Chain A
């Protein structure tokens, strides 16, 4: 028996309320409006009052519009037919392809049993020395790119996507500018990668609620492919828009805000998405790279702050390059011990020296006399910035390490920089003099 309810008793923001019975939590409903059929999801039950968030927004909904409950939660179709396609946040076709309705799966499924995970062991090479040497990306890692608006985060994301060795890519766009959406689509097409990609895109002009569904859609699909043994790379941009949508709904629902208006469960909400990154024992994996723009370049803003506690490190994008301080790949030690025996030493020492360089530069800018050591540091810093840090540098890891030794030996004596003798013997470039 399919009961239809035709009295909407409250409309606030994108949340409508009807009185109905036998409804289950998180169930999906259809609202028939004069402009077509809108989907809505149950977000609260209180006695016979049912609160629904309308995915396409509540604009134009009349109080006597008909609401029909569908007896299932939000679902997405899953099959190989998804490859090469573009969908909206609610799973409708955004390209001109057919709508997919076969083999529907629930989104936001249960969490993986920790004992069925394995410690990731495979490095994902990107050809970007700031990542490969200093903060290696690892399969199944979840890593945000913290960035200020205006930085080239989407091109960086696209470049990693193109160069990373994975079986398929799921891209989730949230509040994406239409140009950026086209940029991703074109880049994927140009590199012939569209056929192994699936895009769920919510653009800035689409309804807020759809934005909330994008990560779940992407990750539900990614999870199924991973279970089939695929190495999946999930790219999400921009998670700050996702959090702002959460905030909007929470405020509409009159929840008590915890920090700058964001709901108290922001951490759990983000974690339940990021934690979908996984390396399954005897199946595939999901790696998640997500752009998080920092309002006002403030890393203590609730969104980057909560994200940082969940993810396995972060890349800071600032002034057009990946900033060595603050950027961190927590999983790097799982892989950088097996690449080359000098990898860790080069990583540590070069960063420490670069920190000294920054300090010296500060002193210099204040007009202090530079000692001979200071001068060496200044030379070093410049070389580091141009040869390694520049985002256009595209070389494999081994070459980048050799370059590291070259820079060090051009400027310093081995004893000056505290590198273990045995290593220096092996790698320190022999000089003519």
Chain B
């Protein structure tokens, strides 16, 4: 590889973040190129080739580029560095560590400044897990280093083919990431040197596993409406479309805090910088109950906020999913939250417009659907080559234009996901959190709560909504007391179970045992026949019951207070 001459080109035109380049020798589609402006080198990607002219999307502001400026082609696809030290980091869409950038350049992001994603000076305690002569395949581990609370596996590079034999392996000890850790010999006796780091092109899924399995086990989100009604499976996919102000981001933040997974990758893609800052300030302080360590230790943030260059926004979701896949290869359960995939789609639209491609619906490119589908398809539960299981679960927020779910991005997403959590503006306006519509949303996965009981409560909710609709026409006085009680029941169920108080330490997250326990009690109430003298006394009863329930919801599970409130609920019902 040493003898390769740098291939160069010349800028022919600039239009927004698209630069047309004249080249002489050859170019590779999607390879990384740099536009050289004096001492600034602007990273870009080849996205179209026509004759001796190719178009680049530049990942930076293009101000100041001149016709004739030099362009250097790297010969490599857009890649990320994978190795120990990723956890707890905050990267931009191109995997530049933002805190180190801040140390070098202060308040503002300096154009053309790229830093290595991983700290090359830090040492890690390596423990070999194989011996000379062992036969391995891509993705299998040769050793491990401790990273935060995890055992970070050092694996055979995912792109090596066939069976490889261990020629040498380092002893237990402290090493830096670029030290030579092992040498492997492939089937044609070619030797490969292993370090702790490998590079992987972000747009390629990592496929170094034995098989992809069907996601069945529920992923506990601790959000009642999700876990009970529209559950997500480990290794599954879900989307959260909603108009602005419906609480997409709050929901994603709570998921990132409470979901029972090993690692969370947050891709803040084209959204507000302030929201990322909240995570950055909150997470180091919050304790993960599963590990007893700070939440930041299990989190990676990829942040390409809305004012950062658009092309890097497109790559940020791929960077995020690649990091998620990497940790999946270690047999961990990873949750990737992308907020918002619509911004990513818009980035594609902007570029497509500049390329003057024939537009599809709402000017989105024709390949929108296939890009969205292939992104969600990178989720999955896989059986690794050592027999253990790992998973990537993907949840994408969608920001439909005008809150209208008929638009292309929402529709393309709904085709490929396993669960749909539709947020409703009405519920959000009525300050109902989470604003997931329990009747419109759906999930193809199984809940840990008995399906029959769930079905019953859904029909009760429907019934309640029907009565509510009817009352709008015939009025309360035209409604029979039985119908009215059905309406109240549904309303009560919504208030005390489907809604959660995001500001209450206890109520914001409900563990699975508690969900089961509480759901059983509520199911009983929903099934029970109550007889009231008139509507006012019925309303009063449910209002009071709701009050006790809300107090109950903020008591710790199985505490004395919890039992006391439960007793009160039982009394209340017995005396009805």
Contacts and interface: CB of A to CB of B under 8 A. Distances in A.
Contacts of B543: 415-416, 418
A312 B108 contact: no
A312 B275 CA distance: 9
B349 A117 contact: no
A1 interface: no
Interface in A237-294: 255-259, 263-265, 267-268, 271-272, 274-276, 278, 280, 283
Interface string A293-333: 00000011110011011101110000000000110101101
Given A258-B349, A363-B472, A114 B280 contact: yes
Contacts of B274: 117, 119-120, 140, 312, 331
A406 B65 CA distance: 64
B531 to A, nearest CB: 19
Contacts of A34: none
B245 A112 contact: no
A339 B310 CA distance: 39
A299 B518 CA distance: 40
Interface residues of A, number: 85
A264 B353 contact: yes
B131 interface: no
B372 interface: no
B363 interface: yes
B105 interface: yes
A305 to B, nearest CB: 5
A268 B349 contact: no
Contact of A276 (B15, B64, B307, B401): B307
Contacts of A5: none
A118 B281 contact: yes
B368 interface: no
Given A23-B66, A113-B108, A351-B431, A259 B475 contact: no
Given A118-B281, A421-B551, A110 B110 contact: yes
A26 interface: yes
Interface string A120-141: 1000000000000000000010
A337 to B, nearest CB: 8
B73 to A, nearest CB: 21
A373 B477 CA distance: 13
Contacts of A325: 429
A23 B69 CA distance: 11
A74 to B, nearest CB: 10
Given A44-B14, A255-B353, A308-B245, A271 B280 contact: no
B245 A46 contact: no
Contacts of A314: 245
B15 A44 contact: yes
B110 A257 contact: no
B566 to A, nearest CB: 17
Interface string B9-30: 0001111100010000000000
Contacts, number: 222
A21 B307 CA distance: 31
A227 interface: yes
Contacts of B101: 113, 115
Nearest to A420: B551
B66 A372 contact: no
Contacts of A274: 306-307
B429 A25 contact: no
A267 B306 contact: yes
B280 A115 contact: yes
Contact of A418 (B272, B306, B472, B550): B550
Given A22-B67, A23-B67, A116-B106, A268 B13 contact: no
Interface in A327-385: 328, 330-331, 333, 337, 344, 348, 351-352, 355, 362-363, 366-369, 371-374
B90 A115 contact: yes
B231 to A, nearest CB: 28
Nearest to B534: A371
A249 to B, nearest CB: 12
Interface in B445-464: none
B64 A24 contact: yes
A429 interface: no
Contact of A112 (B108, B350, B363, B476): B108
A235 B475 CA distance: 47
A362 B473 CA distance: 11
B298 to A, nearest CB: 19
A344 B306 contact: no
12 contacts: A21-B67, A44-B15, A45-B13, A110-B110, A114-B90, A115-B90, A119-B274, A275-B272, A305-B402, A368-B478, A415-B544, A418-B546
**5 tightest Cβ-Cβ pairs between the two chains A and B:** A300-B402, A368-B475, A271-B306, A275-B307, A258-B363
Given A112-B109, A331-B274, 10 more contacts: A111-B108, A113-B98, A268-B350, A272-B307, A275-B273, A308-B243, A313-B245, A326-B245, A371-B536, A415-B544
